[in-house]
Amino acid sequence: MTGVSADSVGQASRRDYSLLGADGAQAVEHGLAAAKWYHTDVPRQGMKAVMKRSDGPAIRDTILWLGLMILFAGIGIWLWPSWWSAPFWLAYGVLYGSASDSRWHECGHGTAFKTPWMNDVVYQIASFMIVRNPVAWRWSHARHHTDTIIVGRDPEILLMRPPALLRLLATFFGLTDLWSGLSRMVVNASGRPTAEEATYIPKSEWPKLVWVARIWVAIYAATIALALVIQSILPLMVIGLPRLYGAWHAVLCGVLQHAGLAEDVLDHRLNSRTVLMNPISRFIYWNMNYHVEHHMFPMVPYHQLPALHALIKHDLPAANTSFLDAYREVWPALKRQLRNQRWFIKKDLPPGAAPYRAEFHGDVMPVAAAK
């Protein structure tokens, strides 16, 4: 792994990450939008094996997820308002505010369960917990996979350059995400998508978007009303607040997906990161730590990602061996990008791995991407 600067002249002007700005138009002009991405060659039988879907693993994991949530919330309510309830609320919060992120994600792909309606049910539940409208985010995430970390096209870039570290700190406590989610919910409930949502959600889907937002507003209003009636925040400890106090694990994992890596490349080996994690984090994260593999082959079910990793790791940069190892790579990169927003980590491919679009693998990014 090495670091390079995409700007051979010096500091460039700040890039426009919005979906309505000049960088998005340039991405289209230079062929970076909806482009052809690199995929590792996988033997047909191997791919057939990892593509196999099954209800069993997801049913098991969903029963465990929801069962633990009910258990921890029940104990938390029973011990309320004693401080002895705090550990149980913290555990409940991680399952609500972090595990819901991976469940929303995988069921949105339609790969977690073999049975479609099971994916849809868990997708709706997890989307509510994470405060992401299931209609909007299905289309948002489709764009994220089509134009991964393409500036001005990808609506899900967590860390822009230069990185806003105070904003990132707030994200660990769910503050920015919850504010964004609630703001969009109010806009959607008023009868329309936001300006950026309108760029990727088909008009035929707007009525569904609005209908979901209005149901959510009613649920939150009822929860707040109950809290006022009983003069206790306990109802909000069950619905709403866990999105704040339980978000940290999702952010801890999510930062590692793409932070510090190349922008505007068409090779997921260069803009995504695989991190080997402990079993508990993998359960919460539903194996999304295999992130290069997921982006390269997004229709492989989460429970098959370790097997996919074994099949293609010969063609990928070496995986980070732990959270600590990954943050030892990411944190210095973020600090470097505060001084030079064009600097990024260039992942080294293993011997024998062929670069895709060789112009993206040099010491300086191509002019089209560096403007």
Q: What phi and psi, each to the nearest 5 degrees, are found at residue 135? A: -75, -50
pLDDT-based confidence at residue 353 (cuts at 50, 70, 90): confident
pLDDT, tens only, 292-344: 999 999 999 999 999 999 999 999 999 999 999 999 999 999 999 999 999 99
Average model confidence (pLDDT) across the chain: 92
pLDDT-based confidence at residue 359 (cuts at 50, 70, 90): low
CB count within 10 Å of CB 132 equals: 24
Residue 371 has pLDDT above 80, yes or no: no
Task: Please choose, from the candidates 270, 276, 268, 273, the residue with its C-alpha nearest in 3D space to the C-alpha of residue 256.
Answer: 273
pLDDT-based confidence at residue 2 (cuts at 50, 70, 90): low
Task: Please choose, from the candidates 238, 275, 282, the residue with its C-alpha nearest in 3D space to the C-alpha of residue 102.
Answer: 282
Task: Please choose, from the candidates 102, 94, 103, the residue with its C-alpha nearest in 3D space to the C-alpha of residue 72.
Answer: 94
Task: Please choose, from the candidates 344, 351, 295, the residue with its C-alpha nearest in 3D space to the C-alpha of residue 318.
Answer: 351
Query: What b/e sequence results for 339-352 when a residue is b if at least 16 CB atoms lie within 10 Å of its CB, and e otherwise?
Result: ebbbbbbbbebeee
Instruction: Report the DSSP beta bridge partners of residue 345.
Output: 3
Least confident span in 58-72, 80-94, 251-265, 349-363: 349-363
pLDDT, tens only, 270-287: 999 999 999 999 999 999
Spans of all domains in the chain: 2-370
Residue 363 has pLDDT above 70, yes or no: no
pLDDT-based confidence at residue 13 (cuts at 50, 70, 90): confident
Query: What b/e sequence results for 16-30 when a residue is b if at least 16 CB atoms lie within 10 Å of its CB, and e otherwise?
Result: bbebeeebbebbeeb
Q: What angle do CA 305, 327, 69 make, to 5 degrees?
A: 55
pTM: 0.91
Contacts of 125 (CB under 8 A, 6+ apart): 100, 103
- Tokens coding 5: 């600067």
pLDDT-based confidence at residue 4 (cuts at 50, 70, 90): low
